[in-house]
């Protein structure tokens, strides 16, 4: 049997069981080996029946005395049997498990684990797990630290444990060690076969912790090296871009507000970067409305006044245009020319802009990814700024940087990312966080309601419009889908126009529209010519309409916490009180928990930590879709120290042997290539 073989090659697995395993994303022998437990139940402490504790889980060994009785009571079948451990008797019961009568064999000895309660002045063990005492076989479900796996209703824990044990018995000796010997010895990590065996079936507590320590490090270490392979190993290089004049008084004087302490701290970080004489690679994280853009404007001013050009790339036409208008309004007063570049521009306008970029007269260049097209040639690019970095691929970020000779790089994102995950996704960047909102930003009241509230919600929107304020309504789809009961923008807008808001000005916007059409609607909404804008998440990022005070999100369960927070951030930008209404009829526990978290918290960074805790690191921020191997055991919420160590070891290794060609690194190189070949089709970091 090979690690790459289908699960059908494993004994006791036929087509039906293989289908059940597929639902757990288990397809191969290796998938079985790396299907790590989600929890453990310590059943190693076996008690005498006379010593069992009431209202706690106990493990006992006893012989079946008498036959199992199935007693029918109303709609319940109670299966009851008595056991004896040589000193004391104990009654055991199960509910609606009539098969127990045939499963338990009279006079045979079993090990039982279950909660003990007091009933009719007697102690009774309810619905325990059990296993026959067989000295020729190892007990997997009792009398030891027992693994608990994520599973489906149709695949029991006992079956999963038996399958995994069978595979380990056959394959454990074939598991190769790929971590370099020097790393294993320096950090006292156990070898891989020991780790795999003891993560599934720990011999004792110490063995479990050694196994987990090794496998968590291994996982984070591999991810870090994968990122070096995908993104390149970047260390801040010397730069010829000379920033001598850092005086920002001129731009500070014309800003309509004072910088917050959090903004000043980020500027200090960047000042220190400039003084080092190295290429800046910095990620600026800031919650919705925290003032990242003004940081970008000030740094752009510093670079431009030192004779260099600045490029800013945004993911959408609407956001890029908004940035351009904001920059132009400010920089016109400073005598610095800004130009705009977009794929939707008229040919003449684009040609003029390209010429100004080429001859260097345009010091600030703002656009979509049109800014990185081959025909765009900067004369003297000193700084590249990427807004909402996660919307762009690795290649786009690299292409942008290659427009100049090692320009400084600033990446901005309003998507709250836990610091630990940011260290992974942007491990090549220094990180600054704007962790406080500017004074005057309105707190947005968030409400979670179901469809029985429609009448009240619509009345709320009408009153809002009557008071000359505006609202967004977000739908998850553009067109109707018969298979899914989800609100669509087109059909819903038509219904609202005809049946609900017929006396109000209502429009819809979505991603399939032409850019000019979208821009026209957004311009009219900004000017107050539209009362209610129905939209998909095309307005998620960067839209700034201070008069919009209500955000209604239909089918809110369809969105993640980060997306909901971004959408909520489109309101609360003016002086008036603002509201976000999450509307959902979902009964899904995870969805309900997510929406309740949104109601309870408004801080994006707290939300990001809650999201990481709720969803786990494998699925956070779409990492499964970003080409990063899924995390099967590491928990970024808890394993921060392991992450730091993994990054340190990965950096040290790359400095010593970037191509992993040394003999001691050959097996590691093979492992990385194996993972990379599986993942490389979908890398968009």
pLDDT tens per residue, range 336-349 = 999 999 887 888 88
Kindly state whether residues 138 and 154 are assigned to the same domain. Answer: no
| Largest separation between any pair of C-alpha atoms in the chain | 97
Kindly state whether residues 138 and 157 are assigned to the same domain. Answer: no
Closest CA to 395 of 20, 32, 99, 682: 682
User: Is 34 within 8 Å of 7 (Cβ atoms)?
Assistant: no
pLDDT score recorded for residue 396: 58
Confidence class of residue 231 from pLDDT cuts 50, 70 and 90? low
Tell me, what CATH number does 536's domain have?
A: 3.40.50.300
Select the more confidently predicted residue: 283 or 86.
86
Looking at 413, 431, 465, which one is the last position of a domain? Answer: 413
Please name every residue paired with 89 in a beta bridge, in sequence order, or none if there are none.
84
Q: What is the mean pLDDT of residues 424-429?
A: 63
Q: What is the mean pLDDT of residues 272-300?
A: 84
CB within 8 Å of 191: residues ≥ 6 apart: 177, 184, 214
Tell me, what CATH number does 136's domain have?
A: 2.40.50.140
pLDDT score recorded for residue 563: 82
User: Is 46 within 8 Å of 70 (Cβ atoms)?
Assistant: no
Looking at 558, 576, 601, which one is the last position of a domain? Answer: 601
pLDDT score recorded for residue 399: 65
Kindly state whether residues 64 and 94 are assigned to the same domain. Answer: yes
Is 618 contained in some domain?
no
Is 426 contained in some domain?
no
Task: Please name the helix (run of DSSP H) or strand (run of DSSP E) that holds residue 521, with its range, or none.
Answer: helix 515-526
pLDDT score recorded for residue 685: 35
Is 674 contained in some domain?
no
- For the ranges 80-84, 386-390, 668-672, the one whose mean pLDDT is highest: 80-84
Kindly state whether residues 469 and 375 are assigned to the same domain. Answer: no
pLDDT at 663 over 60: yes
Select the more confidently predicted residue: 480 or 608.
608
pLDDT score recorded for residue 28: 93
Kindly state whether residues 583 and 463 are assigned to the same domain. Answer: yes
Q: Per residue in 355-372, pLDDT tens?
A: 999 999 999 999 888 888
Is 232 contained in some domain?
no
Confidence class of residue 440 from pLDDT cuts 50, 70 and 90? low
Kindly state whether residues 461 and 566 are assigned to the same domain. Answer: yes
- Ranking 180-194, 339-353, 378-392, 553-567 by mean pLDDT, the lowest is 378-392
The rounded distance, in Å, linking the Cα atoms of 679 and 454 is: 45
Select the more confidently predicted residue: 105 or 316.
105
Q: Per residue in 511-558, pLDDT tens?
A: 788 878 888 888 899 899 999 999 887 775 556 788 999 999 998 998
Kindly state whether residues 561 and 479 are assigned to the same domain. Answer: yes
pLDDT at 387 over 70: yes
Closest CA to 646 of 661, 631, 659: 631
Q: What is the mean pLDDT of residues 41-46?
A: 90
Is 681 contained in some domain?
no
User: Helices marked H in 556-679 — which ranges?
Assistant: 561-568, 589-600, 604-615, 640-656, 666-679
pLDDT score recorded for residue 680: 45
User: Is 133 within 8 Å of 7 (Cβ atoms)?
Assistant: no
pLDDT score recorded for residue 109: 93
Structural domain for 392, as ranges: 249-278+291-413
Which DSSP state fits 499? I
Kindly state whether residues 9 and 156 are assigned to the same domain. Answer: yes
CB within 8 Å of 282: residues ≥ 6 apart: 269, 270, 273, 409, 410, 411, 429, 430, 431, 432
Q: Per residue in 569-616, pLDDT tens?
A: 888 888 889 999 999 999 988 889 889 999 998 877 778 777 777 765
Confidence class of residue 276 from pLDDT cuts 50, 70 and 90? confident
Kindly state whether residues 405 and 508 are assigned to the same domain. Answer: no
Q: What is the mean pLDDT of residues 200-223?
A: 94
The rounded distance, in Å, linking the Cα atoms of 615 and 521 is: 36
Is 235 contained in some domain?
no
Structure tokens at 651: 């950096």
Please state the length of the chain. 685
The rounded distance, in Å, linking the Cα atoms of 249 and 242 is: 20
Looking at 585, 601, 617, which one is the last position of a domain? Answer: 601
Is 420 contained in some domain?
no
The rounded distance, in Å, linking the Cα atoms of 501 and 498 is: 7
Report the C-alpha dihedral over residues 535, 536, 538, 544, rounded to 10 degrees. Answer: 40
Kindly state whether residues 405 and 340 are assigned to the same domain. Answer: yes
Kindly state whether residues 78 and 164 are assigned to the same domain. Answer: no
Q: What is the mean pLDDT of residues 620-639?
A: 61
Is 594 contained in some domain?
yes
Q: Per residue in 390-400, pLDDT tens?
A: 555 555 556 66
Average pLDDT, the chain: 85
Structure tokens at 79: 């299966």
pLDDT at 184 over 90: yes
pLDDT score recorded for residue 540: 58
pLDDT at 143 over 50: yes
Tell me, what CATH number does 22's domain have?
A: 1.10.150
The rounded distance, in Å, linking the Cα atoms of 684 and 315 is: 14
pLDDT score recorded for residue 483: 44
Structure tokens at 526: 């900004």
Task: Please name the helix (run of DSSP H) or strand (run of DSSP E) that holds residue 305, with its range, or none.
Answer: helix 292-305
Cα atoms in the 13 Å half-sphere on the side-chain side of 586: 21
pLDDT score recorded for residue 681: 41
Share of the chain above pLDDT 70, in %: 87
pLDDT at 658 over 90: no
Is the alpha carbon torsion for 655, 658, 664, 670 positive or negative? positive
Q: What is the mean pLDDT of residues 92-97?
A: 93
The rounded distance, in Å, linking the Cα atoms of 496 and 475 is: 13
The rounded distance, in Å, linking the Cα atoms of 520 and 526 is: 10
**Domain count across the chain:** 4
Kindly state whether residues 168 and 62 are assigned to the same domain. Answer: no
Select the more confidently predicted residue: 681 or 511.
511
């Amino acid at each position: 049997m090979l690690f790459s073989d289908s699960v059908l090659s494993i004994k006791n697995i036929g087509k039906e069981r293989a289908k059940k395993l597929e639902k757990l994303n288990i397809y191969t022998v290796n998938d079985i080996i790396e299907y790590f437990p989600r929890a453990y139940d310590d059943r190693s402490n076996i008690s005498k029946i006379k010593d069992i504790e009431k209202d706690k889980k106990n493990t006992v060994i006893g012989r079946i005395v008498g036959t199992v009785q199935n007693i029918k009571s109303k709609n319940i079948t109670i299966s009851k049997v008595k056991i004896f451990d040589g000193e004391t008797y104990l009654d055991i019961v199960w509910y609606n498990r009539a098969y127990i009568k045939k499963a338990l064999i009279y006079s045979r000895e079993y090990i039982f684990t279950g909660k003990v309660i007091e009933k009719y002045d007697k102690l009774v063990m309810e619905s325990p797990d059990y296993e026959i005492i067989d000295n020729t076989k190892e007990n997997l479900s009792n009398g030891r630290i027992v693994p608990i796996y994520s599973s489906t209703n149709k695949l029991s824990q006992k079956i999963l444990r038996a399958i995994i044990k069978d595979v380990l018995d056959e394959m454990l000796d074939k598991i190769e060690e790929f971590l370099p010997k020097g790393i294993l010895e320096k950090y006292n990590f156990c070898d891989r076969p020991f780790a795999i065996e003891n993560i599934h079936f720990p011999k004792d507590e110490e063995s479990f912790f050694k196994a987990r320590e090794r496998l968590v490090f291994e996982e984070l270490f591999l991810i870090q090296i994968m990122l070096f392979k995908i993104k390149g190993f970047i260390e801040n290089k010397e730069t010829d871009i000379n920033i001598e004049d850092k005086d920002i008084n001129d731009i500070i004087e014309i800003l309509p507000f004072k910088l917050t302490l959090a903004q000043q701290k980020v500027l200090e970080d960047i000042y220190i970067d400039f003084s080092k004489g190295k290429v800046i690679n910095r990620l600026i994280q800031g919650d919705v409305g925290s003032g990242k853009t003004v940081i970008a404007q000030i740094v752009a001013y510093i670079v431009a006044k030192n004779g260099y050009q600045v490029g800013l790339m945004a993911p959408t036409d609407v956001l890029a245009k908004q940035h351009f208008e904001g920059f132009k309004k400010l920089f016109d007063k400073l005598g610095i020319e800004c130009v705009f570049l977009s794929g939707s521009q008229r040919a003449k306008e684009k040609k003029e802009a390209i010429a100004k970029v080429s001859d260097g007269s345009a010091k600030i260049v703002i656009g979509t990814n049109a800014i990185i097209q081959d025909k765009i040639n900067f004369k003297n690019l000193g700084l590249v700024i990427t807004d909402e970095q996660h919307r762009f691929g690795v290649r786009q970020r690299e292409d942008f940087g290659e427009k100049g000779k090692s320009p400084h790089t600033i990446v901005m994102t309003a998507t709250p990312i836990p610091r630990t995950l940011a260290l992974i996704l942007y491990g090549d960047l220094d990180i600054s966080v704007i962790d406080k909102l500017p004074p005057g930003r309105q707190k947005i009241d968030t409400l979670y309601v179901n469809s029985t509230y429609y009448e009240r919600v619509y009345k709320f929107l009408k009153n809002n419009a009557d008071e000359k304020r505006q609202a967004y309504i977000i739908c998850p789809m553009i067109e109707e889908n018969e298979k899914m009961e989800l609100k669509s923008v087109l059909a819903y807008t038509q219904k609202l126009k005809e049946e609900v808001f017929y006396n109000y000005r209502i429009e819809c916007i979505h991603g399939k529209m032409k850019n000019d059409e979208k821009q026209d609607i957004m311009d009219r909404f900004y000017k107050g010519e539209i009362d209610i804008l129905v939209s998909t998440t095309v307005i998620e990022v960067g839209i700034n309409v201070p008069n919009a005070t209500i955000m209604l999100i239909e089918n809110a369960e369809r969105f993640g916490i980060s997306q909901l927070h971004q959408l909520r951030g489109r309101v609360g930008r003016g002086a008036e009180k603002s509201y976000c209404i999450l509307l959902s009829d979902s009964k899904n526990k995870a969805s309900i928990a997510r929406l309740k978290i949104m109601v309870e918290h408004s801080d994006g960074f707290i939300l990001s930590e809650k999201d990481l805790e709720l969803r786990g690191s494998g699925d956070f921020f779409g990492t499964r879709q970003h080409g990063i191997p899924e995390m099967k055991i590491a928990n970024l919420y808890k394993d921060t120290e392991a992450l730091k160590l993994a990054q340190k070891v990965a950096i040290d290794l790359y400095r010593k042997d970037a191509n992993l060609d040394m003999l001691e690194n050959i097996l590691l190189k093979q492992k990385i290539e194996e993972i990379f070949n599986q993942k490389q089709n979908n890398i968009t970091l």
